[in-house]
Structure 1
């Protein structure tokens, strides 16, 4: 995504129900904006929201963008309907793995963010240094 300015997660709270959902929505918008395999209208919508030129609610009400979203949903649905039973089982297993990674990621990020900083100065655990 190449923009002069990119919105912050907090700017998505008008549609997200909590900060974690806003963070995931922000990450999804980046993915859409950078996905060359997606239609230009979808990528343009994501870029417009990320740059702050369009708010997310406005994008969801814009006929150009809603048409692009519905077209993509239709493509996904058609591809899902054309899969074999074995492909569906494999997809279900892959989705379960993806969900597990998604649930673990916020915990990992929180642990990294909240971890004590090593080498920040003398330790007070061993008492004052001489």
Structure 2
């Protein structure tokens, strides 16, 4: 048994710790938030190309890179798939934490990622 905050408080702290972990992975490329927003637009445009349509944005970048519009769209879509996998891992972790029935269970979930949890007196 762990002496400290109740299970609900521990779960919330664990979810915050897991979120911090996944955000650090997502941001490890150093891309600024404004540029990330542009990537959302690029993904929409890439999916238009993948569906057989055209996109000036994708076409211009493909020309700059010396590749086809389709290759450019596929590259953007693959990058988005990496982000999707990371987000699904984060969500699965949150669900697992919510489903944990003990403090040890919560800590075991964090341990899968090499994470620990320390709560100071003000966190309870």
**TM-score using structure 1 length:** 0.29
